[in-house]
């Protein structure tokens, strides 16, 4: 059973960079069966897909965030990471990492989510 766990600062100052890491256990991040995605959810609102990375290192980003987002993978640590720069209060949300099945893009496995607040 694949498990994902997000980690990173819960508070980020405006204009700075939000950095989160997702550690994958119970499976290999080098699996060809999954993309590794980031999704966020502002309080009381819906889900927004941020982007994803494949084991090859290829990435796809949501155009709405593309200019500010970088997703990377560290296969030696079985982790993938999110960096979102120039954050504002609008980036305050619960951030989830998720395993996105390669063949039909269903999010099979999710982390528990981590709240990131952007505030001075």
Partner 1 sequence: DIQMTQSPSSLSASVGDRVTITCQASQDISNNLNWYQQKPGKAPKLLIYGASNLETGVPSRFSGSGSATYFTFTITSLQPEDIATYYCQQYDNLPLTFGGGTKVEIK
Nearer to partner 1, 46 or 76 (CB): 46
Distance separating the N- and C-terminal Cα atoms of the chain: 39
State the chain's maximal CA–CA distance in angstroms.
Answer: 42
Least CB distance from residue 12 to partner 1, whole Å?
A: 21
- Torsion angle in degrees (nearest 10) through CA of 75, 81, 83, 84: 140
Beta strand 107-110 pairing with 93-101: antiparallel
Q: Which residues bind partner 1 (CB under 8 A)?
A: 37, 46-49, 60-64, 96, 98, 100, 104-108, 110-113
Least CB distance from residue 100 to partner 1, whole Å?
A: 8
Is the Cα dihedral 27, 30, 103, 36 positive or negative? positive
Least CB distance from residue 120 to partner 1, whole Å?
A: 27
Nearer to partner 1, 65 or 78 (CB): 65
Least CB distance from residue 97 to partner 1, whole Å?
A: 10
CA 81 to chain centre: 6
Nearer to partner 1, 1 or 119 (CB): 1
How many other β-carbons are positioned within 10 Å of the β-carbon of residue 55? 18
Nearer to partner 1, 77 or 106 (CB): 106
């Amino acid at each position: 059973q694949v498990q994902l766990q997000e980690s990173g600062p819960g508070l980020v100052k405006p204009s700075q960079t939000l950095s989160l890491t997702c550690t994958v256990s119970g499976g290999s991040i080098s699996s060809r069966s999954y993309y590794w995605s980031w999704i966020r959810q502002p309080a009381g609102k819906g889900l927004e897909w941020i982007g994803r990375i494949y084991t090859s290192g290829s990435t796809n980003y949501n155009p709405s965030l593309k200019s500010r987002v970088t997703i990377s993978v560290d296969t030696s640590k079985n982790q993938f990471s999110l960096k979102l720069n120039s954050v504002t209060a609008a980036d305050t949300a619960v951030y989830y990492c998720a395993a996105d099945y390669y063949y039909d893009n269903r999010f099979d496995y999710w982390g528990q989510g981590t709240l990131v607040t952007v505030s001075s």
